[in-house]
Structure 1
Amino acid sequence: METYLLDTNLVSVLYDAHRPNHTSVRQAIENLESGASQLVSAVTIAELRFGLALSQAVGRPLTHIEACIERAEEHPLANIDRHTAAAFAHVKASVAQQRLDLARRAPRWVEMWTDRVTSEMLQIDENDLWITAQAIERNYTIVTSDRDFINVIAPALPELQVLLV
């Protein structure tokens, strides 16, 4: 039976009825294999809590973010351990080898990486690489609305399973 790892952008839409694509995301989740596990990454919880902290700092409404975190935490949690760290190294190196000019020194921060062919910023988030590492390590399918998983990350990792919603 399939195990699904719900990405942060998907979770934030799934549990916020005011988001424009909420209905289509909810429907996609309902259509997943019946009885299949749906996990949330520890990275996702961290990203949601970061958003909450920023909203608190600037005095924005918090109720919908707190509700999203509460619902996300109802899912089983995919943790990070030493095996995930090894998978992360594989993921990051694979993306770098496929997309960067390794003859030049690559910027330390993934968010600053540019494609060796187009010279355009890849615009991927390092947290997405951690979530990818968890999925590869445990043979999970990432469920996401983030096209970067399909367009940038998956081409470097043929073993990665992604369901784009």
Structure 2
Amino acid sequence: MSGNVVVLRQLASSLEVKPKLLVSVVTLGEIGFGHRVALTPDPRAQAAYVKFVEDELPNPLELSRDVADAYGHLRTRLFNKYAPGEKRRPKMRPEQLVDPATAKELQIQENDLWLCAQAVAHDMVLVTNDRMTQIMHVAVGLNPPLLVQNWTKPNEVSIPAYLLWRAVRSGLW
């Protein structure tokens, strides 16, 4: 069992308020892809994954029109911030704004944009150990805000504070 899994299990069991955890269909797609292209596919691991998804994640977080709107907003902000003036053409992708290696240099991937858009559209915390620095820079000032946490680093976890913020914001407190 990986160290990250152990940390996450310990953290989840220690929380007094159990947050609702959802997994995006985007994440499920990434994991499914990883299983299929593994250098040494492990049918038992693949079967265990499928069983886990069916048993524990019967309702993954789907994409919706609200998510599509948030995605368009984030992608526009990335384009406006990082596209050189002469390259601001509507068909440019954020990954192509500096040069062909932009995805690597800016650490931007389309799936990351979709995950961030889901978090914004549903006013949720995105839990990831990806940095997403450029996306975070352009998301400043969004309402609802883009909130990202890395649960593999316990000093970055503030779920109770976030839940209190959500309760106040929604009028429950």
TM-score by length of 1: 0.69
SS in 2 for 1:77: coil
Asked which structure has the greater RCO (Cα within 8 Å, sep 6+), the reply is 1
Structure whose residues are more often strand by fraction: 1
Cα distance in 1, alignment partners of residues 67 and 79 from structure 2: 18
Match of 2:32?
49
Gaps of 5+ in 2: 152-173
| 1:36 Cα deviation after fit | 1.4
Per-residue deviation at 1:33? 6.1
Q: What's the CA shift for 1:138?
A: 0.9
Provide the aligned C-alpha RMSD in A. 2.8
Give the match for residue 123 of structure 2.
139
Select which of 51, 55, 75 maps to 1:92.
75
User: Does the residue aligned with 2:41 lie in a helix, a strand or coil?
Assistant: coil
Offset of 1:91 from its aligned partner? Answer: 1.3
Could you tell me which residue of structure 1 aligns to residue 171 of structure 2? Answer: none
Q: Which has the higher helix share?
A: 2
Residue 127 of structure 2: SS of its match in structure 1? strand
- 1:44 to partner: Cα distance: 1.0
Q: Could you say which residue in structure 1 is the equivalent of 2:52?
A: 71
The reply on whether 1:80 has 2:63 as its aligned counterpart is: yes
Question: For 2:98 and 2:12, how far apart are their aligned partners in 1?
Answer: 33
Distance 1:102 1:88, change over 3 A: farther
Greater radius of gyration (CA): 2
How many percent identity over aligned positions?
29
- 1:164 aligns to 2:150 (yes or no): yes
Is 2:155 the partner of 1:155? no
Cα distance change, pair 70–101 in 1 and its aligned pair in 2 (3 A): farther
Give the distance between the partners of 2:97 and 2:11, measured in 1 at CA. 32
Cα distance in 2 for partners of 1:155, 1:66 equals 39
CA distance in 1, matches of 2:86, 2:111: 25
Cα displacement (A) at 1:59:
4.6
Residues 31-82 of structure 1 deviation map (CA, whole Å, 9 limit, x = unaligned): 5562211000011111111112223xx5522333443444345233111122
User: Does the C-alpha gap of structure 1 residues 47 and 33 become closer, same or farther in structure 2, counting only changes over 3 Å?
Assistant: farther
Distance in 1 (CA, whole Å) between partners of 2:97 and 2:31 is: 24
Does residue 1:38 correspond to 2:21, yes or no? yes
Given that residues 24 and 62 in structure 2 are in contact (C-alpha distance below 8 angstroms), is that contact kept between their aligned partners in structure 1? yes
Q: How many residues align?
A: 141
